[in-house]
Structures are given as C-alpha cells and as structure tokens.
Amino acid sequence: MALKVMPGEVVIAVRGLRTQFGDAVIHDQLDLDIRHGEIVALVGGSGSGKTTLLRAIIMLLQPAAGSIELFGQQIVGIGDSAAFRLRRRFGMLFQQGALFSSLTVRENVAVPLREHTRLPMARIMEIADLKIALAGLAAEVGDKLPGELSGGMLKRAALARALALDPALLFLDEPTAGLDPVSAGAFDELVVQLKQSLGLTVVMVTHDLDTLWNATDRVAFLGERRVIGYAPMRELTQAQHPLIRAYFEGPRGRAAQEQACKAK
C-alpha cells in the first residue's frame, strides 16, 4: 500500500543535479523541489534540458552527479526491485502517446495493471474502463485501436493508461503538442480537474503558453544548466533575467498573457 502524502509535502527533491552526454553538460548544480498537489511545468529554450530532467526524475536516465528523491526515497543508484515498486506510484504520458498500435485502447490501459498487479483479468478490464471514462472518453473508445483515434483522443487514451495504477505523481511530456486550441484547452481543464479530484501532483514539459497560464501552479524555467526562475506565471513573467524576458515577452507570450487575464 502506498504511503499517504500530506498536502504541501515535498514529493520530488532534486539537489546538485548534473547530467551530461559525453562532454556535453546539460545540467550542473540544478536544484528543484516540487510539493504535493502542485501542477509544475518545466520550460526553457531549446537545449535547456527539460525532457532530460524529466527522464532523470522518472529513472530513465542516470545522472552524472547529484541526488533525486521521490517521496523521500533516493533514486540515484536505486536497485531494480525498488525502482519497480516506486514506478507504481507515478504515471507517465509520453509526447507521442507511446501506445501499442496492435492493442485496443482498453488493452493498452490494462498493460500497467497486468504488469504490476495480480488482479483477475475481468477486474483489470473493469478498471481499464473506469480509467478510460476518467480521461473523458466514451466507453466505445475502449474497443478502438490507437490508429483510429484523433490526436485529442489519443492523448486522453495515453492519459488513461498513465492513471491505471492510481498514481500520486503524473508526468506529462508535451501533453498538448499537435492539438488544436480547443482540444488543447479541454485537455488542460481535464488535468486541473484530475489534480483536484484525485489529489495528484503533476509535472509537465510544455511549450504551450496557454497551458502555462491556465493549468499550472508554478513554472520552473531552465537556463544556464540550472533552474533560473521558479514561481507562478504572474510572478515569473516579471523576472528580469534576460532569458526569461526573451521567452515571455514576444508576441505569442504577450497574447497568451492577455488571454489569461481576460479569462480571469
């Protein structure tokens, strides 16, 4: 049984992180705390290491130095069995969905349940149907193959799979990439609703400025191999660091801010 996480508790703690590929150093002395119940976005210019940081946190990349704790447990150098148990506590939505093309949506959602539980197949399929509904999809979508889905439906199907094991942590890599504005906005609303109803902590990589304004509690801006700004959007956009100003003060950044202000 997963340990209960208290509101405001730090569930991800990154200290002195260094990642590199050969001689190319991506992060150096990077620190980051994420608290239970937050939606936090990782942003920054191309090459700032947003997805690399995400991969290190979910144990797909071994850092060169530093520490990462999930729920108070050190994951750098963690053993296979301990990592397997810890992975039950988070869900991951990859940018392209990463669904198995030969499996139906229901069968895709069932994969984590088959891997991590010993539930009977009938119960697994019942849970899969519940997660499909939770992701805002009609019941009949469960019988479809990923190739039969629209972009927005595909994202929701992948989200249903990420929610299969009732995770405390949800990781999203470019969740609205490739979606039209209406579908992207609906997906943002769904993520906020799920955070509130399920008590999730959400960490996402995104370039979507509307998402940053409408769906996040705090935004961590990566630059110069570390986190150079970390605050709610309204505060972050007032930062004086030239990289942050350049990112948010262009026409698209101003338009997203104006739209967010009108919505409020």
Report yes or no on 230 lying in a domain: yes
Total number of domains constituting the chain: 1
Q: What are phi and psi of 145, to 5 degrees?
A: -85, 155
Strands (E), the chain: 10-21, 24-35, 39-44, 65-70, 73-74, 90-93, 169-173, 201-205, 218-223, 226-231
Q: What pLDDT score does 75 carry?
A: 94
- What range does the domain containing 53 cover? 41-58+79-263
Q: Please say whether the dihedral angle defined by the alpha carbons of residues 77, 82, 86 and 92, taken in this order, is positive or negative.
A: positive
Distance between CA atoms of 130 and 164, rounded to whole angstroms? 9
Report yes or no on 35 lying in a domain: no
Report yes or no on 172 lying in a domain: yes
Listed as own residue / partner, the contacts of 115-123 with beta carbons closer than 8 Å and 24 or more positions apart are 116/87, 116/88, 116/165, 117/165
Specify the CATH number for the domain of residue 113: 3.40.50.300
For residues 222 and 42, the answer to whether their CB atoms sit within 8 Å is: yes
Report yes or no on 92 lying in a domain: yes
Report yes or no on 28 lying in a domain: no
Report yes or no on 23 lying in a domain: no
Distance between CA atoms of 254 and 248, rounded to whole angstroms? 7
Report yes or no on 67 lying in a domain: no
Q: What pLDDT score does 144 carry?
A: 96
Q: Could you list the pLDDT tens digit for every one of the 264 residues in the chain?
A: 345 556 678 999 999 999 999 999 999 999 999 999 999 999 999 999 999 999 999 999 999 999 999 999 999 989 888 988 888 899 999 877 689 999 999 999 999 999 888 999 999 999 999 999 999 999 999 999 999 999 889 999 999 999 999 999 999 999 998 889 999 999 999 999 999 999 999 999 999 999 999 999 999 999 999 999 999 999 999 999 999 999 998 666 656 565 665 665
pLDDT tens profile 22-45: 999 999 999 999 999 999 999 999
Which pTM value belongs to this model?
0.89
Report yes or no on 116 lying in a domain: yes
